[in-house]
């Protein structure tokens, strides 16, 4: 029997003499300043601050087939309604109409299906999902389909393009719904109580996983997966963090191994930590508390090579710039300079293009609260 043991997140594997599988790290050049190609740097995609006025709730996605970037945000120029822009021909352009949601909204999420169709989820104040098809934005199922107002929202598309949402509503529970082509239906029972900071991931069998701050566990992070008939805890409840967790981001690698990033209150100042589930328990990926300050708007993606990347608002020094970290050579290293944005940012969102190049979107305080996207290459 082979037991998977994580040493370093990566694509390369070897088999030890006892038959266990060792995960090794495949070197990724240009990761930290001072290593790799000296010409690699952060730069803006298009112009800095490319919308007409201030925004909130920025979220970024990449079309995996074409590499086209899409960003959504709450648009101050459209009465706080949702807008989506894409980067084509060297410029950011509005997809469809600006402010297409029916009134103000927030908690924007975005994903691109296998045909290149963008989907956006938001609260208004109940859950809504819309997609751009036939030259216009259209509702996916009913508007305001959640039974109650929601306080946390996550959205993802399965490999078969089936849309899923996870949210925390006024009951304090996590509810997951999927769209069956006609209507939104609940996936299993509601889970948890007094929950917050929900994050959603879909595995290769198209089953959903959720991570959240669990009020029943003192605010520690709990991860649950859906078996097709019921929700089951991944390890012990509350074990996915060492202390009360906030700014949670859940991701799965290509082997469906779960990683959870968060601000962990057991560490001084609530520093960033990533845990990985292996051999029946949650273990730290590298050292705990690898950020300089408490992270906000944590956004984690696992590269096809198996490398975990974590973007966040870096609160160290009270400035709040964007920082991107990668797990490399047994430790967390900064991708480029820590705090690479020109100044303070809000709502960082990370995406990798088909070649593994990282992009980070944010609300750019230095640009008057407009959105900016930066790339490291």
Structure tokens belonging to residue 321: 């710039």
Q: What are phi and psi of 330, to 5 degrees?
A: 90, 5
Which domains are present in the chain?
4-376 (2.120.10.30)
- The per-residue pLDDT for 39 is 73
What distance, in Å, lies between the first and last C-alpha atoms of the chain?
42
Q: How far apart are CA 142 and CA 21, in angstroms?
A: 47
Report the mean per-residue pLDDT for the chain. Answer: 91
**Average pLDDT by consecutive 10-residue portion of the chain (377 residues)?**
36 32 38 52 98 96 97 96 97 97 93 98 97 97 97 97 97 97 97 97 98 97 97 98 98 97 97 96 97 97 96 91 96 97 97 97 97 98
| pTM exceeds cut of 0.85 | yes
183-240, pLDDT tens digit by residue?
Answer: 999 999 999 999 999 999 999 999 999 999 999 999 999 999 999 999 999 999 999 9
Spatial neighbors of 95 by CB under 8 A, at least 6 apart, are 70, 84, 85, 86, 118, 132
């Amino acid at each position: 029997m082979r037991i998977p043991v994580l040493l370093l997140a990566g694509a390369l594997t070897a088999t030890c003499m006892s038959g266990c599988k060792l995960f090794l790290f495949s070197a990724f050049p240009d990761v930290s300043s001072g290593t790799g190609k000296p010409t690699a740097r952060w730069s803006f995609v298009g112009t800095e601050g490319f919308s007409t006025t201030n925004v909130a709730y920025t979220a970024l996605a990449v079309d995996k087939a074409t590499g086209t970037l899409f960003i959504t945000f709450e648009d101050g120029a459209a009465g706080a309604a949702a807008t989506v822009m894409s980067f084509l021909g060297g410029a950011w352009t509005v997809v469809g109409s600006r402010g297409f949601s029916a009134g103000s909204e927030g908690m924007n999420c975005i994903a691109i299906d296998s045909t290149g169709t963008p989907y956006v989820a938001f609260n208004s104040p109940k859950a809504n999902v819309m997609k751009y098809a036939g030259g216009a934005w259209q509702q996916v199922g009913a508007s305001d389909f959640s039974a109650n107002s929601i306080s946390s929202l996550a959205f993802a598309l399965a490999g078969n393009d089936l849309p899923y949402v996870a949210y925390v509503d006024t009951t304090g529970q996590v509810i997951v719904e999927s769209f069956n082509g006609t209507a939104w239906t609940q996936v299993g029972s509601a889970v948890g109580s007094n929950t917050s900071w929900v994050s959603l991931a879909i595995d290769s069998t198209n089953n959903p996983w959720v991570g959240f701050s669990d009020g029943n566990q003192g605010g520690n992070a709990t991860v649950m997966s859906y078996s097709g008939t019921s929700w089951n805890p991944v390890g012990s409840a509350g074990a996915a963090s060492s202390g009360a967790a906030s700014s949670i981001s859940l991701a799965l690698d290509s082997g469906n191994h779960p990683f959870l990033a968060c601000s962990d209150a057991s560490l001084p100042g609530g520093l960033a930590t990533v845990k990985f589930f292996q051999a029946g328990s949650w273990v730290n990926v590298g050292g705990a508390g690898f950020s300089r300050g408490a992270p906000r708007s944590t956004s984690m993606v696992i590269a096809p090579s198996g490398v975990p990347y974590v973007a966040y608002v870096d609160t160290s020094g009270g400035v709040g710039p964007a920082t991107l970290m990668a797990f490399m050579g047994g430790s967390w290293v900064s991708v480029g300079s820590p705090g690479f944005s020109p100044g303070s940012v809000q709502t960082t969102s990370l995406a990798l293009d088909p070649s593994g190049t990282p992009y980070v979107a944010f609300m750019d305080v230095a640009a008057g609260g407009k959105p900016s996207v930066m790339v490291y290459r």
